């Protein structure tokens, strides 16, 4: 199959994404408008008949003081990763990016390598000798993903450092997902552990209501998010970031981003943002107050978001990043513990990969990043 690669319009890119069952929210054209500190470009792969068969959103970050760029395709590009001629897809991309002034390319193939169901994770947590998810035998292994990794290595790609739980600009290697395809909602609820089911009932009994918000409610979202940032010791993004995200994503598709609040006696106790691309739904950002936890607003909100995803025909509800640590003393352990209660599965991707087009500048960037 002979492939050609060229820059495409956002309209062409969006039309291609819309023709697929799903793609990462980091690969829709509007994501470029969320990441304003990067320059962007839309790439398309075409077959011999001139049909578009792949697309990629490239973000370019300029190096201080010189006109050279890091080219980044978060959770992309959207191509046939299992193609035996993977070289024919990636070589033209590297040549093009080099022409654009890139000194290094970073990409995140959306290729799943392993899955662990919640029973496997629970047994791992209970085993004192197990400290990491990768020490637990996977419930499902995708042999083709190992072939993809081998091909990339042979081409000179280098596997990046683990993105941990996906905080900051690197995409998470481990995520937690609740599969919805070919399941009834009763079945999904049955998959929840006892504590989750009890907490959902508790919230319902206490009169917690979950509502959808709009652009005008983002200031209230920000209030809860900043309380969370203080409690969990992270630097919050500004309100303008979420306002921009809402505006650009929903102008591309009116259902791309949603906002939810769980409230009790008229007071908002927790909030979340949700992203939708085709059949894939992500719980994106979450926030909660320090009060009202006893009425379990977060459980009620997740259950409502899951039901809404199901009603939309989603095939997967994605709770995003987890750390692969199963050590109860790890500060990120609570995250996996909360998510595993939904009865879903931990999913490992092949991770992010780097291709140094200019080894010297690539090394300089590594040193620069490690000092930050």
Q: What pLDDT was estimated at residue 230?
A: 97
- Taking a C-beta distance cutoff of 8 angstroms, is the pair 362, 354 a contact? yes
pLDDT tens for 274-332 read 999 999 999 999 999 999 999 999 999 999 999 999 999 999 999 999 999 999 998 88
**Sheet with 209-213, side-by-side order of all strands:** 140-141, 112-117, 345-349, 174-179, 316-321, 280-288, 267-277, 257-264, 209-213
Q: Between 225 and 168, name the one with better pLDDT.
A: 225
Q: How far apart are CA 200 and CA 301, in angstroms?
A: 9
Q: Between 171 and 310, name the one with better pLDDT.
A: 310
Q: What pLDDT was estimated at residue 218?
A: 98
Same domain? For 124 and 243 the reply is yes
Q: Between 368 and 212, name the one with better pLDDT.
A: 212
Task: Map residue 263 onto helix, strand or coil.
Answer: strand
Q: Is the pLDDT of residue 347 over 80?
A: yes
pLDDT level of residue 227 (50, 70, 90 thresholds): very high
Q: What pLDDT was estimated at residue 169?
A: 53
| Total structural domains within the chain | 2
Q: What pLDDT was estimated at residue 167?
A: 35
Same domain? For 269 and 281 the reply is yes
Same domain? For 87 and 194 the reply is no
Q: Is the pLDDT of residue 180 over 70?
A: yes
On the 0-12 / 13-18 / 19+ scale of CB atoms within 10 A, 126 is exposed
Same domain? For 159 and 269 the reply is yes
Same domain? For 133 and 196 the reply is yes
Q: What is the torsional sign of CA 287, 232, 25, 279?
A: negative
Same domain? For 121 and 257 the reply is yes
Mean per-residue pLDDT for 100-112?
96
Same domain? For 51 and 189 the reply is no
Same domain? For 117 and 100 the reply is no
- Domain boundaries, position 115: 110-347
Q: What is the torsional sign of CA 349, 350, 351, 357?
A: negative
pLDDT level of residue 2 (50, 70, 90 thresholds): confident
Q: How far apart are CA 192 and CA 304, in angstroms?
A: 14
Same domain? For 213 and 129 the reply is yes
Average pLDDT of every residue of the chain: 94
Q: Between 368 and 227, name the one with better pLDDT.
A: 227
Same domain? For 153 and 176 the reply is yes
Read off the CATH number of the domain in which 35 is found. 3.40.630.30
Same domain? For 168 and 255 the reply is yes
- Taking a C-beta distance cutoff of 8 angstroms, is the pair 323, 167 a contact? no
pLDDT tens for 229-242 read 999 999 999 999 99
Contacts of 84 (CB under 8 A, 6+ apart): none
pLDDT level of residue 162 (50, 70, 90 thresholds): low
Mean per-residue pLDDT for 24-44?
97
Contacts of 174 (CB under 8 A, 6+ apart): 133, 165, 321, 322, 323, 324, 346, 347, 348, 349
Q: How far apart are CA 213 and CA 50, in angstroms?
A: 43
pLDDT tens for 86-96 read 999 999 999 99
Same domain? For 70 and 176 the reply is no
HSE toward the beta carbon, residue 301, CA cutoff 13 A = 28
- The secondary element (H helix, E strand) that includes residue 35 is none
pLDDT level of residue 371 (50, 70, 90 thresholds): low
pLDDT tens for 246-289 read 999 999 999 999 999 999 999 999 999 999 999 999 999 999 99
């Amino acid at each position: 199959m002979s492939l050609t690669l060229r820059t495409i319009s956002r309209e062409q890119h969006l039309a291609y994404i819309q023709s697929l069952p799903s793609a990462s929210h980091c690969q829709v054209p509007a994501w470029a408008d969320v990441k304003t500190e990067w320059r962007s470009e839309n790439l398309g792969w075409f077959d011999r008949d001139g049909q578009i068969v792949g697309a990629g959103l490239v973000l370019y970050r300029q190096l201080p003081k010189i006109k050279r760029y890091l080219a980044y395709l978060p959770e992309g590009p959207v191509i046939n990763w299992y193609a035996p001629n993977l070289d024919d897809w990636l070589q033209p991309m590297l040549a093009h990016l080099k022409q654009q002034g890139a000194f290094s390319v970073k990409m995140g193939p959306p290729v799943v390598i392993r899955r662990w169901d919640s029973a496997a994770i629970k047994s791992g947590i209970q085993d004192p000798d197990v400290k990491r998810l990768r020490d637990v035998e996977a419930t499902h292994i995708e042999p083709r993903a190992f072939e993809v990794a081998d091909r990339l290595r042979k081409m000179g790609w280098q596997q990046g450092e683990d993105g941990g739980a996906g905080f900051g600009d690197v995409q998470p290697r481990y995520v937690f997902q609740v599969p919805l395809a070919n399941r009834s909602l009763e079945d999904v609820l049955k998959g929840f552990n006892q504590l989750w089911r009890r907490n959902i009932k508790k919230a319902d009994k206490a009169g917690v209501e979950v509502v959808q918000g709009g652009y005008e409610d983002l200031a209230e979202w920000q209030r809860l998010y900043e309380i969370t940032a203080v409690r969990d010791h992270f630097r919050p993004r500004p309100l303008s970031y979420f306002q921009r995200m809402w505006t650009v994503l929903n102008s591309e598709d009116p259902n791309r981003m949603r906002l939810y609040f769980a409230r009790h006696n008229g007071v908002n106790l927790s909030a979340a943002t949700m992203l939708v691309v085709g059949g894939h739904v992500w719980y994106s950002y979450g926030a909660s107050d320090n009060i009202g936890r006893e009425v379990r607003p977060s459980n009620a909100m997740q259950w409502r978001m899951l039901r809404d995803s199901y009603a939309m025909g989603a095939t997967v509800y994605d709770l995003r990043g987890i750390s692969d640590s199963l050590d109860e003393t790890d500060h990120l352990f609570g995250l996996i513990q909360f998510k595993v209660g939904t009865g879903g599965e931990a999913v490992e991707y092949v991770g992010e990969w780097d291709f140094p087009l200019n080894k010297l500048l690539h090394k300089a960037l590594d040193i620069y990043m490690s000092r930050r």
